[in-house]
Amino acid sequence: MMMLARQTLLRISLVAALALVLVMAEGLQSDNRVSAQDVHVTGPLAGAPSVMNQRLWREMRLHVEPFFAFTIADEYSRSLIVGGELRFHFLDWLGIGGWGGYSVATLDTNLTKEIRDKGVTTNANRLDLPSREGYPNQVGRLNWWSGVELHFVPFRGKLAMFQKIFVDADIDVFVGAAFVGVEERADVTGQPSPGNVTYCDQVGDGCLPSQDARAKRTAIAPSFGIAFNAFFKEFVGLAFRWRGIPFKYNTSGTDNNRDGQINSDDRLRQFNNMFSVGVIFTLPPKIKTTD
């Protein structure tokens, strides 16, 4: 009986294997092309646009945005900025704008405070550090800001807070040019050699007065960034904006080039960052919607 059962199972296995081979061969011989089937929408959605009653927050509207900003990742001095921005959008996803701000206060970083409290002046570094107490007076500072930018809005949607508060939101990407008021330590030459500086040409009286001497200029640089915007009413919104402005300036007020003098050759490229929070007011206040 056991021998008969084994023979029966073997025959069944052989038949199943043969059937599987025939099915696979038929599949390989068949046409492998996949064709899509048209989906016909019926009912009330037939012929309807992908988005209905879309709120046009930007198209042919002026955005007025007062903001507060601060610079980040600074080496020696951080700026607190108050300013404003104007933007006009020809389309809901494309616009142009201008912005400006003034540094109402500056904050010394921990590095500046450490040098002020613990720095040591010798003949070898007298040009770089005439006195440790006066070091905050020689670092570079950014006094004012302005620029023009082109704005793109590639993403938009809705956000829900606690399933009760719903707001329209979008992502704003921008690129342009910036103009920055830079204040640096004035040009000065050490004598008689970089390694043994005793006097400075700036006033002919010694290195100490050169620490407070300042020079101002306007730096022109590219600007770019990204913003998250949320709109709560037809004419009011909130903007969180990051902006990058890379350019060269002498942040430390020191002889970075090691040539015994402080001048434009000592400027180092800095990736200047700022983060701002602004309130958006739109004109005209009445919003338009699509069909």
Instruction: Specify burial of residue 81 (Cβ count, 10 A radius: 0-12, 13-18, 19+).
Output: buried
In which residue are the tokens 């009445």 written?
286
The token pair at 136 is: 């905050």
pLDDT at 2: 43
d(CA 279, CA 212): 38
- Is the Cα dihedral 121, 196, 124, 134 positive or negative? positive
| Residue extents of the structural domains in the chain | 52-289
In which residue are the tokens 């509207």 written?
61
Cα Rg of the chain, angstroms = 34
- Mean pLDDT for 116-144 is 93
pLDDT at 193: 57
Average pLDDT, whole number, for the chain?
Answer: 84
- Mean pLDDT for 102-113 is 97
Non-local (6+) Cβ contacts of 66 within 8 A are 83, 84, 278, 279
Least confident of 106-120, 123-137, 180-194: 180-194
Give yes or no for residue 41 having a pLDDT over 80.
no
pLDDT at 232: 86
User: If pLDDT is split at 50, 70 and 90, which confidence band does 288 have?
Assistant: confident
pLDDT at 207: 78
What is the identity of the amino acid at 188? Answer: V
Q: How far apart are the first and last CA of the chain?
A: 81
User: If pLDDT is split at 50, 70 and 90, which confidence band does 239 have?
Assistant: very high
pLDDT digits (tens, 9 = 90+) for 180-231: 999 999 998 876 555 566 666 654 456 788 899 999 999 999 999 999 999 9
- Mean pLDDT for 245-269 is 94
Number of H helices, E strands in the chain: 3, 13
- Mean pLDDT for 7-23 is 60
What is the value of pTM for the model shown? Answer: 0.77
pLDDT at 74: 95
The token pair at 113 is: 């405070």
Q: Is 32 left (phi over 0), alpha (psi -120 to 50) or beta?
A: alpha
- CATH number corresponding to 52-289: 2.40.160.20
Give yes or no for residue 47 having a pLDDT over 60.
no
The token pair at 276 is: 């701002």
In which residue are the tokens 């903001």 written?
67
Q: Nearest Cα to 91, choosing from 159, 170, 177, 160?
A: 170
Q: Return the beta strands (E) in the chain as ranges.
A: 55-56, 61-72, 77-91, 94-108, 141-161, 165-185, 188-191, 199-200, 214-231, 236-249, 261-262, 268-283, 288-289
User: If pLDDT is split at 50, 70 and 90, which confidence band does 3 have?
Assistant: very low
